[in-house]
Protein backbone atom coordinates (compact mmCIF):
# COMPACT_ATOMS: atom_id res chain seq x y z
CA UNK A 1 0.00 0.00 0.00
CA UNK A 2 1.39 3.37 -0.99
CA UNK A 3 1.13 5.94 1.74
CA UNK A 4 -0.64 9.18 0.97
CA UNK A 5 1.61 12.07 2.01
CA UNK A 6 0.57 15.64 2.88
CA UNK A 7 3.13 18.47 3.04
CA UNK A 8 2.21 21.82 4.63
CA UNK A 9 4.96 24.42 4.11
CA UNK A 10 5.06 27.92 2.62
CA UNK A 11 8.60 27.54 1.27
CA UNK A 12 8.30 26.78 -2.46
CA UNK A 13 11.82 25.46 -2.76
CA UNK A 14 11.29 23.11 0.16
CA UNK A 15 8.08 21.94 -1.54
CA UNK A 16 10.01 21.26 -4.72
CA UNK A 17 12.84 19.33 -3.05
CA UNK A 18 10.50 17.36 -0.79
CA UNK A 19 8.30 16.30 -3.70
CA UNK A 20 11.44 15.17 -5.52
CA UNK A 21 12.69 13.21 -2.50
CA UNK A 22 9.32 11.50 -2.20
CA UNK A 23 9.15 10.53 -5.88
CA UNK A 24 12.81 9.47 -5.88
CA UNK A 25 11.94 7.19 -2.94
CA UNK A 26 9.56 5.40 -5.31
CA UNK A 27 6.29 6.73 -3.92
CA UNK A 28 4.11 7.27 -6.95
CA UNK A 29 1.12 8.64 -5.12
CA UNK A 30 0.54 12.38 -5.63
CA UNK A 31 1.63 14.53 -2.70
CA UNK A 32 -1.01 16.77 -1.09
CA UNK A 33 0.70 20.16 -1.09
CA UNK A 34 -0.36 23.21 0.89
CA UNK A 35 1.53 26.54 1.09
CA UNK A 36 -0.96 27.87 3.57
CA UNK A 37 -2.06 26.08 6.72
CA UNK A 38 -5.54 27.60 6.50
CA UNK A 39 -6.07 26.06 3.09
CA UNK A 40 -4.92 22.75 4.49
CA UNK A 41 -7.39 23.08 7.37
CA UNK A 42 -10.22 23.81 4.93
CA UNK A 43 -9.33 20.65 3.04
CA UNK A 44 -9.45 18.55 6.24
CA UNK A 45 -12.81 20.07 7.15
CA UNK A 46 -14.20 19.34 3.70
CA UNK A 47 -12.82 15.81 3.42
CA UNK A 48 -13.11 14.86 7.10
CA UNK A 49 -15.14 11.73 6.29
CA UNK A 50 -13.52 10.92 2.94
CA UNK A 51 -11.11 8.10 3.69
CA UNK A 52 -9.64 8.07 0.18
CA UNK A 53 -8.86 11.80 0.15
CA UNK A 54 -7.33 11.98 3.63
CA UNK A 55 -3.54 11.49 3.86
CA UNK A 56 -1.80 8.86 6.01
CA UNK A 57 0.98 11.19 7.09
CA UNK A 58 1.42 14.97 7.40
CA UNK A 59 4.75 16.81 7.28
CA UNK A 60 3.89 20.11 8.95
CA UNK A 61 6.13 23.17 8.94
CA UNK A 62 6.06 25.18 12.18
CA UNK A 63 6.96 28.61 10.95
CA UNK A 64 4.48 29.94 8.41
CA UNK A 65 2.86 33.32 7.93
CA UNK A 66 -0.73 33.84 9.14
CA UNK A 67 -1.42 30.43 10.57
CA UNK A 68 1.64 28.67 11.91
CA UNK A 69 2.08 24.97 12.63
CA UNK A 70 0.96 25.28 16.27
CA UNK A 71 -2.23 27.08 15.37
CA UNK A 72 -2.94 24.51 12.68
CA UNK A 73 -2.54 21.71 15.24
CA UNK A 74 -4.97 23.42 17.64
CA UNK A 75 -7.65 23.62 14.99
CA UNK A 76 -6.85 20.23 13.48
CA UNK A 77 -7.02 18.50 16.88
CA UNK A 78 -10.63 19.60 17.23
CA UNK A 79 -11.74 17.82 14.04
CA UNK A 80 -9.33 14.87 13.78
CA UNK A 81 -11.13 12.59 16.33
CA UNK A 82 -13.97 12.13 13.82
CA UNK A 83 -11.66 11.06 10.97
CA UNK A 84 -12.28 7.56 9.64
CA UNK A 85 -8.55 6.72 9.87
CA UNK A 86 -5.49 7.61 11.96
CA UNK A 87 -3.11 10.19 10.52
CA UNK A 88 0.52 10.42 11.61
CA UNK A 89 1.92 13.96 12.00
CA UNK A 90 5.56 15.02 11.84
CA UNK A 91 6.67 18.55 12.58
CA UNK A 92 9.32 19.83 10.20
CA UNK A 93 11.40 22.89 11.02
CA UNK A 94 14.72 24.54 10.49
CA UNK A 95 14.51 25.67 14.11
CA UNK A 96 16.81 23.96 16.59
CA UNK A 97 15.23 25.98 19.38
CA UNK A 98 14.59 23.81 22.42
CA UNK A 99 11.41 25.74 23.13
CA UNK A 100 9.98 24.36 19.89
CA UNK A 101 11.10 20.77 20.45
CA UNK A 102 9.89 20.82 24.08
CA UNK A 103 6.54 22.16 22.99
CA UNK A 104 6.27 19.48 20.31
CA UNK A 105 7.07 16.75 22.85
CA UNK A 106 4.01 17.80 24.91
CA UNK A 107 1.57 17.26 22.03
CA UNK A 108 0.40 13.60 21.78
CA UNK A 109 -0.78 14.04 18.17
CA UNK A 110 2.83 14.51 17.05
CA UNK A 111 4.86 11.42 16.21
CA UNK A 112 8.15 13.18 15.68
CA UNK A 113 10.17 16.30 14.97
CA UNK A 114 12.24 16.53 11.81
CA UNK A 115 15.04 19.06 11.43
CA UNK A 116 15.47 20.42 7.93
CA UNK A 117 16.96 19.59 5.51
CA UNK A 118 14.43 16.88 4.71
CA UNK A 119 16.14 13.79 3.33
CA UNK A 120 15.25 10.39 1.91
CA UNK A 121 16.40 8.75 5.20
CA UNK A 122 14.17 10.99 7.30
CA UNK A 123 11.28 10.25 4.96
CA UNK A 124 11.75 6.48 5.27
CA UNK A 125 12.14 6.67 9.08
CA UNK A 126 8.89 8.56 9.44
CA UNK A 127 7.04 6.25 7.04
CA UNK A 128 8.13 3.33 9.27
CA UNK A 129 5.67 4.76 11.84
CA UNK A 130 2.82 3.88 9.51
CA UNK A 131 3.60 0.14 9.73
CA UNK A 132 3.43 0.07 13.54
Partner 1 sequence: MDNQKESEKNLSVGLPDSEILHLLTTISRELVCLHEPDGTYIYVSPNSEKIIGYKSEELIGKNPYDYFHPDEKRLIQERSHQPLLRGEENIHSTFRFLHKDGRYIWLQSDNSLTIHPTTGKKYLHTSSRDISEKINTEANLALAERRFKTLFHDSPIGLVLTGGHGYIDETNEAFARFLGYQNYEVVGKHFTEISSDDGLEENLKYRDEVQKGIIDNYSIEKQYIHKSGKKVWAYLTVTVLRDDLGHPIHYLAQIIDINERKKNETLLREKNDRLRAATNSYLTQNKQLQAYNQIISHHLRAPVSNLRSLLDLMKESDQLKEVKEIESHLENVTENLETVLSELITTLKIQNSDQFQPEPVNIQLSFDNVLRLLNGEIKSKQAEVQSNFSGANTVYFSKDFLETIFLHLLGNSLRYADPNRKLRISVESFPIGTQTAISFSDNGIGIDLERYGDQIFQLRKTFHRHISGKGLGLFLIKYKMESVGGRIEVRSKPGEGATFLMYFPERSDAE
Q: Which residues bind partner 1 (CB under 8 A)?
A: 10-11, 13-14, 16-18, 20-21, 24, 63-66, 68, 94-97, 116-119
Angstrom distance (rounded) from CA 4 to CA 21 = 14
Edge-first strand order for the sheet with 5-8 is 32-34, 5-8, 57-61, 88-93, 110-115
Rounded to the nearest 5°, which phi and psi values hold at 17? -70, -35
Q: Kindly tell me which of 31 and 47 has the beta carbon lying closer to partner 1.
A: 31
- Parallel/antiparallel/unpaired status of strands 57-61 and 32-34: unpaired
Q: Kindly tell me which of 58 and 92 has the beta carbon lying closer to partner 1.
A: 92
Q: Kindly tell me which of 14 and 90 has the beta carbon lying closer to partner 1.
A: 14
Tell me the closest approach of the beta carbon of residue 21 to partner 1, in angstroms: 7
Tell me the closest approach of the beta carbon of residue 108 to partner 1, in angstroms: 25
Question: Of 124, 74, 115, 122, nearest to 91 (Cα)?
Answer: 115
Tell me the closest approach of the beta carbon of residue 78 to partner 1, in angstroms: 17
Q: Kindly tell me which of 50 and 94 has the beta carbon lying closer to partner 1.
A: 94
Question: Of 11, 38, 37, 2, nearest to 118 (Cα)?
Answer: 11
Tell me the closest approach of the beta carbon of residue 131 to partner 1, in angstroms: 26
Amino acid sequence: MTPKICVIDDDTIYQFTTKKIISNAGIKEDVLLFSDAENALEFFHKESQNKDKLPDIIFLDINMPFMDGWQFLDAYGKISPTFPKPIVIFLVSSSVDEADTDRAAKIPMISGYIFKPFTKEKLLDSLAHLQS
